[in-house]
Structure 1
């Protein structure tokens, strides 16, 4: 389904709102925008009120400040929740969105009901860190299109790229057309903040699902398991045979996983009432 009827918050954040029920917020990855979640909005909005928005520096939202921190992205989210009059929400963060979700959980714990960290990063090893630093340097010199072709090879399986050239071209255009400063400032955080808040993760007490693709080279199953081990109330799900962009390539499996987790979290009527 296509996302329609975009809205603008007072601070310039572009967002979509669809469905009714317990609220769920979707946070996209670096270089993308809220439209990556089309399949998830369609499925989740059958049971939840779903909010998908553009992070700072992406889509049609405002740029992050020059020395932006992850806390700025968490502040953007809480400003959107205030605008929409949501006290507590479940948050689903993909890739860099998973870092923003973690920052939000640590900065505004009273606003979080549950969290999904999907295809995100944690405790990169030396080789992984060197690779992302090289890509960051290329981005600084050449702009958002610098390494998008290689990214698409990491993100999608060869079979999906061959079968869906139009969808791949659309993602290529989305990444390439990012504002250079907004993209670089965001990518710099994604590339360096994988260990953000590690020493405080045990304070995140809400239910957490940490999931990634079995074949994701940048957001590995080892990362998912290591992150979950630091969280008091976390479970892990590895998506068989999937790479990075599982929300698009394996949307049915991802949607089923999210709906199962959210149904379990929101099973108690008292909890649902507290979120209304």
Structure 2
């Protein structure tokens, strides 16, 4: 029996009837005591397999960011993919978006599912969340895989101020949210593999439904939080097996910034993929990511 299924009621609630979608694992809503309700996709994996928790990037979701990885990873690991707060079906709150709160959400999810620890895999914005999960809840993290990400995203303080001011203004703009709702679907479509592009309308409808669930105020605040993130003072303290997956043609997070993680984190290994920031939408991503995660799993004592 396949661990993945193309049709789940929770995926179709905003899509026209009969709309095909990428194969996705079962998803369910999970109550995080004292925090709210989130959404997680779950691949059981082989009996007794280690757990991998997948942390998606900005303006994505667990489904959109990782749909190419569920199958390859699920052959070796139990796989969880959470929707972060404000994204897709993730936790909703009136509080300002903080990356630290996302890390605490992941720790609460592991507690709710009675999982002692996991390999945290962070993509782009998910990288800081994975790093903060280790810093704030080290007992929950057995290893790290950091993909297309860095320990700081806007190098200069002046640039940070400009970035955060712009995103803060955008957070209060309804027009901004409407604009973003339209733009990313086309971006995703241009970068998806040929097999999916052959069915563009089905993929676009699924992606539009997934992204239409975002709380755009929180997404804009998330962008601002990324702009001020700086773990350079403590990133070298990471003491769990770590792999860094560098996207060498990345225009969003320069490969040089990604590669610095390998220098800063003791005993980190490097894995390269010659593609850009949306490599996660391509079939090659699943096998490359799986090799990086298995590298970390093999080094866990």
Q: TM-score scaled by structure 1?
A: 0.82
Distance 1:136 1:145, change over 3 A: farther
Query: 2 CA distance for matches of 1:91 and 1:100?
Result: 9
How many matched pairs? 265
1:146 aligns with 2:179: yes
Match of 1:118 in 2: 147
Query: 2 CA distance for matches of 1:97 and 1:116?
Result: 10
How is 1:58-207 mapped onto 2 (pairs within 5 angstroms)?
Answer: 58-121=87-150, 122-125=152-155, 134=166, 137-138=169-170, 140-141=172-173, 142-147=175-180, 163=197, 165-166=200-201, 167=203, 170-172=206-208, 174-193=210-229, 195=230, 197-207=231-241
Match of 1:13 in 2: 38
Q: Is the partner of 1:99 in helix, strand or coil? A: helix
Deviation track 1:158-211 (CA, whole Å, cap 9, x = no partner) reads 685994634356445544541122222222212332x2x220111101121222
C-alpha deviation, 1:68, in angstroms? 3.5
1:209 aligns with 2:234: no
Q: Is the partner of 1:6 in helix, strand or coil? A: strand
Distance 1:155 1:106, change over 3 A: farther
Distance 1:160 1:77, change over 3 A: same
Deviation track 1:31-73 (CA, whole Å, cap 9, x = no partner) reads 2111121221121111110011111111212224533422111
Q: Which has the higher helix share?
A: 1
Query: 1 CA distance for matches of 2:179 and 2:126?
Result: 21
Match of 1:224 in 2: 258
C-alpha deviation, 1:115, in angstroms? 0.8
Q: Which moved more, 1:100-109 or 1:164-173?
A: 164-173
Distance 1:203 1:218, change over 3 A: same
C-alpha deviation, 1:243, in angstroms? 1.4
Structure 1: runs of 5+ lacking an equivalent = 272-276
Match of 1:44 in 2: 73
Q: 2:243–2:268: 8 Å Cα contact kept in structure 1?
A: yes
Query: 2 CA distance for matches of 1:239 and 1:78?
Result: 29
Q: Which moved more, 1:151-160 or 1:170-179?
A: 151-160
Q: TM-score scaled by structure 2?
A: 0.76
C-alpha deviation, 1:17, in angstroms? 1.4
C-alpha deviation, 1:144, in angstroms? 2.9
RMSD: 3.0
Q: Which moved more, 1:94-103 or 1:152-161?
A: 152-161
Structure 2: runs of 5+ lacking an equivalent = 1-22
Q: Is the partner of 1:227 in helix, strand or coil? A: helix
